[in-house]
Structure 1
Amino acid sequence: MTDSAIAITNLIYRYAQLIDGGDLDGVGKLFEHGRICGVEDGPPETVFAGRAAVRGMYETLVRIYDDGTPKTKHHTTNVQLDIDDDRGTARATSYYSVTQATPELPLQIIVTGHYNDTFQRIDGVWRFDSRTMFIDQVGDLSHHLKIGA
């Protein structure tokens, strides 16, 4: 694996680690130069660009428990990379599944889907440019999301 491939793969995994740790500031920082798209080619209200907007989106949507976490584990698999080192750009696709267990909810998969990500190298450092999240299967999200609860 090339240095670029390792750096980009680590960004993908770092997102899961930060969100599961309840570090919404850290998640926002990952997208300081990028954006999260809730819907592919969606309207502006489904695009969250920059550190503050991404952090705010998660703060609005995700239930954080007394231990400071959402009590989830994001499992990211099947990472496929397409890197153009000369241009400093890359694309990746991956699958995710999210498990959750709370005092009221037994351990279970609450959602699965896939990510389409783009990356750019800025000042020699790989960063998220965009992440589009696709939901493929939905379970019980009532203990994870603030909306619809």
Structure 2
Amino acid sequence: MSTAADTTAVTNLIAQYAELVDAGDFAGVGALFADGEFIGGGSSIRGSANVERMFQGMVIRYEDGTPRTHHVTTNIAVEFDDPATTATARAYFTVFQALPDLPLQAIVTGRYRDRFQCLDGQWRFAERRVTMHLTGDLSRHLRMPNAATRENHGAG
């Protein structure tokens, strides 16, 4: 059984991920996965340094240090085991982007499927699976070798 505080803590981690990505704070994103795994685009990355390195190499940042994106996370559903030491969550995401020469637009939608662990009273990501469903123009957001990888890349 979970408490309201547990639900809030897990939901806050989901929101914190979006805020850190939009701020271009990839070290902060990596820190969220210190004990966890990030899975997307057919690859699996584990640990802070590796997740940070993946974001640094994949996401384009602009003069202000951000990717000029806005992640919107909706339809969040959180479920806990008994006792509340692990949780799962699922959510939709939509990423918007705007640049001086690119009007505001949705560039990708998809799903997050997350697992969380509570260690020493702190909820942490154990795993995040990112699946993109609909993609728009990702050319100004992600460094991709070719268009074929756009549909399956995992940095939502």
Q: Which residue of 1 aligns with 2:32?
A: 30
State whether structure 2 residue 84 is matched by structure 1 residue 82.
no
Q: Which residue of 2 aligns with 1:10?
A: 12
Which of 89, 94, 97 lines up with 1:92 in the alignment?
Answer: 89
TM-score, with length taken from structure 2: 0.89
Question: How far off its partner does 1:85 sit?
Answer: 5.0
Q: Which residue of 2 aligns with 1:61?
A: 58
Partner amino acid, structure 2, of 1:38: G
- In structure 2, stretches of 5+ residues that fail to align are 147-156
Superposition RMSD on alpha carbons, in Å? 1.3
Question: How far off its partner does 1:102 sit?
Answer: 0.8
CA contact 1:36–1:132 (8 Å) conserved in 2: yes
Structure 1 pair 118/148, CA: closer, same or farther in 2 (3 Å)? same
What's the CA shift string for 1:36-92, capped at 9, x where partnerless? Answer: 0015xx5xxx00100001001101100010101000000000000111251500000
Q: Which residue of 2 aligns with 1:137?
A: 134
Q: Which residue of 1 aligns with 2:117?
A: 120
TM-score, with length taken from structure 1: 0.93
CA distance in structure 2 between the aligned counterparts of 1:108 and 1:148, rounded to whole angstroms? 22
Structure 1 pair 92/102, CA: closer, same or farther in 2 (3 Å)? same
Q: Which residue of 1 aligns with 2:152?
A: none
CA distance in structure 2 between the aligned counterparts of 1:121 and 1:105, rounded to whole angstroms? 41
- In structure 1, stretches of 5+ residues that fail to align are none
Partner amino acid, structure 1, of 2:20: L
User: Identity percentage over the alignment?
Assistant: 47
